[in-house]
Structure 1
Amino acid sequence: MSANPSKPKESVERRNKNLLNNSEQEFVASRRKTVLQSLKKLKIQCSRKEVPNIALLGSGGAQRAMVGLLGSLVQLDKAGLLDCILYLSGVSGSTWCMASLYKEPNWSTKLETVKNKIIERISGPGVSWGDALTKLKKYYYGKDFFSLTDVWAVMVVASIVKEIDEHTLTEQRNQHNKDPFPIYAVIDKQSKQSNDGDPWFEINPYEAGYSLSGVFVDTGDFGSQFHKGSKIKHQDEFDMLYLQALCGSALGDEVAIKNDMWQKIKDFFQNETILEAMREDLSGGKSPLISSMKTEKQYIKRFAMDVCEDLSSRSNIWQFDAGISICKCMAEWIWGRKYNFLHNMTDEAVNSTLLQSETRDYIDAGVLLNSPYFSVLREDRDIDLIISLDFSEGDPFMTVRDSAETCKKLKIPFPEVKVPSDEGKKPKDFYVFKGQNSPTMIHIPLFNAVNCGGKFRSYSCPD
């Protein structure tokens, strides 16, 4: 990446669709030379102008996606293909792998060593309660908006990745000139729920912003307060632990959770035995099912209260205040809240809903689309080939089908996706989708008939 990173501009930048950030342009020019040499080693001849721009995407899937992406990258390296990758982008669990990799300068040149360090760490002891509480205190006092993402980072993500990484993305500038360019993807919660604006949001070491609208701010300033495009109040840059929580906060979308729960309830109650149990309960009977549901509801409520009471009852005043704040965040379900760097700007090319509110909330992109297609489908990135790694448990073609449908509506070039209906339950190990004037895509489901030895019964390989 750029040897002399520019000082944060402290202002919002809007660019035409065919123009990348200067630092990214420099990186792409340098990386394409590496790709060219890698292709020559593979005996694939092409001119410098013909070098393909290849993006590797990692889907969500929690720790399974973290380990799955790591293993996939190791295999690409062994096959001599890793240096062909220009961009590496992920959502949710895949970003946990990316964060671990990019801690190491030029990790792709020593991937076997880096892989062993990661495996050793996640197999080792977790973060202590004392360290977690100390980190929560730093989050509580370190920003204007404290949210459930801070709690999630300390209590859940740290326990999964087995560390508290306090480095920042901007510190990685200049450290990865031999690695693919990293892009972390989240979504704008309000845009997703209102179904307007541009929900797709990307974060890289240089800038953060809306992928399709083309408006960005320096990553070091993302979270600071802006007015009409100029920074008026600085907030310190969030660290890598918080970024992993931001990318992996699927619980942040209460609408999606409620819809999913409601569908499960409807499916559940289609069973005649259960319906009969409901009738008995409503007529004065003592149905174990209904009693169980009541107990579960009470448990959830009790758990929320216990979290608040535990922190509020401690002697330190900050713990009392934090407990109250957590209760408020839980009541309003506040995740990933940041100052809106587009607040009060005037830009006819940007949806007006993105310009009005003082704050925006950012959450796990997987609740909208479980793969970061839209971070690499920007016209200015000019991607020729997308390698899509799908680590999800459900329909292995859902993300690619949804992307194709959305791209059609937005008039974004995307290959036609045709999959035989009977292959949804027993997919092959890879699929190639091609289209005119669109990137070619190789889609690779983790759970497939080849990986699972022909004994594929569900979305997990048999023991």
Structure 2
Amino acid sequence: MSASEPQESGEVRIGHSLNTNEEEFVARRRNTVLQCLQKFNIRCSQDKVPNIALLGSGGGQRAMVALLESLVQLDKAGLLDCILYLSGVSGSTWCMASLYQEPDWSTKLETVKDKIIERLSGPGVSWTDKLTKLKNYYMKDSFSLTDLWAVLFVTSYVKEIDEQTLTDQRDQHTKDPYPIYAVIDKQCKRREEGDPWFEITPHEAGYSLTGAFVETSSFGSQFDNGSKKKLQPEMDMLYLQAVCSSALADGEATWKWIKAISIPEIKSALDKMKQDDTGGNTSRTTQQPFVEDECYQELMNLVDADPSTLVEATRSALPNLSGGQKTADKGKKTVRCVAQRIWGRNYNFLHNMTDESVPAALLQKETRDFIDAGLLINSPYFSVLRKERNIDLIIALDFSDGDPFTTLREAAKTCKKLNIPFPEVDVPSKEGKKPKDFYVFKGQNAPTVIHIPLFNVVNCGEKPGDWRKKYGILKGPYDAEMITEVMEVAGKNISNNIEKLLEQIRAVAEAK
């Protein structure tokens, strides 16, 4: 089946045009942008309103709280309504998911912020609720380590199980920027063929540069030759956040995480369960058996073994556990995912299609694996660089570890390779470790790019590296003091540069 034209609901759409619903949303949002510009005496006609995208990079909880405060400061300055698109990867998507829980969040951001911070400073999700959620995830056709990551890791940081879906939110955000969540196709990460850049919006999910999409409500369902074959439930927001932030989904880091993070958490949670069930007394009688103890011991035995032996080991070990065959089946499924490094597996909606405009590599496999885009480029540039989105100004907030210009340089390098308009990037080498707080890059027939490193010499003094170390990617979950400190630093990057932002917004408006 060739699908060069938009298809019926529930079928694949091949084409570079924007989804009709996105076009309508963006058209309404441009009215808001126009009114915002007029308040600053920036004059332009409705058809010449500049398209401005705000990007949030990865960076774990640091990115989550820093993006939140950046938006708050834009709101206080009256500039939030200038933003047409809000796109994020990894930790920034945690912030986005929290915001878009609230209908028209941008109209009441201070209140929404307080609610989010109160939750992040709170006790978190109970182990009982985590187990219940994990059992639900086990029922999926395509269970993977991303489901474990969602329940064991993401909930520890975001302190909730968000079971909304993007489809649930479609009609709740008439006054907010249009959200784009960005991930990558793992199989395309290191290959020349294919398209790694994958976007998920309230209306469509698909390959940004190839132009191959399916309705978001159908993403994850089984397709054959462009038509839906088997319906699967739409992913919820907890799982979406896990896909976006699966930073250990590539390489041996997976195994280190299993040993260093998940197993201690499992043990700690099981101990807590025992205390809750016995009134604080961890001893128990033989009349109160705990299958979890046996599961934990088997997991420890397996973790200490070579990963390649895991599947074979479970064939004999797990069926003997208390809890019967269901427990054994779940254990086997989990260990298979660990041994084979399976993350973010979903049915491939392009399977068995025939279309010359789609790379053959994307058509063959029945499943695809989707992982954290930060494993390739830690900022969602390619979600907003689609020609059809016609972006004039990109405001890139960089919350990355290490060199604060890596995302920018990699984006420029990839754009040059793919012939995508992007300004030249030239940053003095000495500023790699001691960046300023505001950079502007311009090029002919290319969007203007504003790059704002989180930790810099303006808001952190002469040692921004110390701040990056203190708030490293695996630090956390943050306590209230850490949240406040990161938000203060992030807020200064916006509040100190309002006039510079206005200058660039005015420039792109006049140029358009």
Q: TM-score range by the shorter chain?
A: 0.7 to 0.9
1:11 and 2:11 matched: yes
Local SS of the residue matching 1:171:
coil
Tell me, yes or no, if structure 1 residue 341 matches structure 2 residue 339: no
- The answer as to 2:445 corresponding to 1:437 is yes
Higher relative contact order (CA 8 A, sep 6+): 2
Paired residues for 1:104-183 under 5 Å: 104-141=102-139, 143-183=140-180
Please say if 1:49 is aligned against 2:47. Answer: yes
CA contact (8 A) 1:312 1:324 kept: no
Partner of 1:321: 329
The offset of 1:194, in angstroms, is 2.7
Aligned to 1:281: none
1:160-194 superposed Cα distances (whole Å, 9 cap, x missing partner): 10001111110011100100000000000001133
Kept after mapping to 2: 8 A contact 1:60/1:94 = yes
Structure 1 moving runs of 4+ over 4 Å: 255-258, 297-300, 302-305, 308-312
2:95 to 94, 97, 102: 97
Deviation at residue 350 of structure 1 after TM alignment:
1.1
Alpha-carbon deviations, 1:251-285, whole Å to 9, x = none? Answer: 11127879xxxxxxxxxxxxxxxxxxxxxxxxxxx
Aligned partner of 2:3 in structure 1 is none
State the match for 2:83 in structure 1: 85
CA distance in 2, matches of 1:454, 1:101: 33
Q: Relative to structure 1, is the Cα distance of residues 98 and 14 closer, same or farther in structure 2, using a 3 angstrom cutoff?
A: same
SS of the aligned residue for 1:172 comes to: coil
1:356-375 alignment runs, 5 A limit: 356-375=364-383
Match of 1:460, SS state, is: helix
For residues 406-461 of structure 1, give each alpha carbon's deviation from its aligned partner in whole angstroms, at most 9, with x where no partner exists.
00010000011011111111100010000000100000000100010344344528
Residue 41 of structure 1: how far off its partner (Å): 0.9
**1:44 alignment partner, SS class:** coil
Aligned equivalents of 2:383 and 2:155: distance in 1?
26
Q: What residue in structure 1 maps to residue 202 of structure 2?
A: 205
1:218 equivalent in alignment to 2:228: no
Query: Is the Cα–Cα contact under 8 Å of residues 452 and 461 in structure 1 kept in the other structure?
Result: no
Taking the aligned partners of 2:440 and 2:466, their CA distance within structure 1 comes to 23
Amino acid at match of 1:196: E
Report SS of the residue matched to 1:52.
Answer: coil
Distance 1:8 1:317, change over 3 A: farther
Residue 286 of structure 1 corresponds to: none
Secondary structure of 1:9 counterpart? coil
Is contact 2:254–2:341 with CA below 8 Å preserved after alignment?
A: no
C-alpha spacing 1:247/1:415, structure 2 compared with 1 (3 Å) = same
| Residue 20 of structure 1, CA deviation | 1.0
CA spacing shift, 1:320–1:202, aligned 2, 3 Å: same
Q: Secondary structure at the match of 1:252?
A: coil
| Matched-pair contact (CA < 8 Å) for 1:27–1:177 | yes
Cα offset for 1:250?
Answer: 1.3
Distance in 1 (alpha carbons) for counterparts of 2:173 and 2:164? 15
Amino acid at match of 2:304: K
CA distance in 1, matches of 2:153, 2:416: 37
Q: For residues 223-271 of structure 1, what are the alpha-carbon distances to aligned partners after superposition, in whole Å with 9 as ceiling and x for unaligned? A: 111111111111110100000000010111127879xxxxxxxxxxxxx
- Quickly say closer, same or farther: Cα 1:257–1:321, change in 2 above 3 A: closer
Can you list the C-alpha shifts for 1:138-176, whole angstroms capped at 9, x where unaligned? 1111x2111111111011101110001111110011100
Distance 1:148 1:456, change over 3 A: closer
Query: How far apart in 2 are the matches of 1:439 and 1:349?
Result: 26
**1:249 is matched with which residue?**
246
Alpha carbons of 1:317 and 1:347: their partners in 2 closer, same or farther (altered >3 Å)? same
Identity of aligned residues (%): 67
Alpha-carbon distance between aligned partners in 1 of 2:467 and 2:185, rounded to the nearest angstrom: 29
Amino acid at match of 1:390: D
Change (3 A) 1:119 1:327: same
Please report the TM-score for the alignment, with normalisation by the length of structure 1: 0.86
1:23-58 deviation digits (Å, cap 9, x = unpaired): 001011110010000011122111212210000000
TM-score of the superposed pair, with normalisation by structure 2: 0.78
2:385 maps to 1:382: no
The alpha-carbon deviation at position 300 of structure 1 amounts to 5.6
Cα contact 2:402–2:468 (8 A) shared by 1: no
Instruction: Describe the superposition over 1:61-86 as per-residue Cα deviations: whole angstroms up to 9, x where unpaired.
Output: 00000001001000000010000000
Contact 1:223 1:340 in 2 (8 A): yes
Q: Which runs of 5+ in 1 are unaligned?
A: 1-5, 259-296
Aligned-pair RMSD on alpha carbons? 2.4
**Aligned pair in 2 of structure 1 residues 255, 79: CA closer, same or farther (>3 Å)?**
same
* One-letter amino acid matched to 1:11: E
Confirm or deny that 1:354 pairs with 2:350: no
1:266 matched residue in structure 2: none
Runs of 5+ consecutive residues of structure 2 not aligned to the other structure: 1-5, 256-299, 471-484, 486-512
- The secondary structure found in structure 2 opposite 1:97 is helix
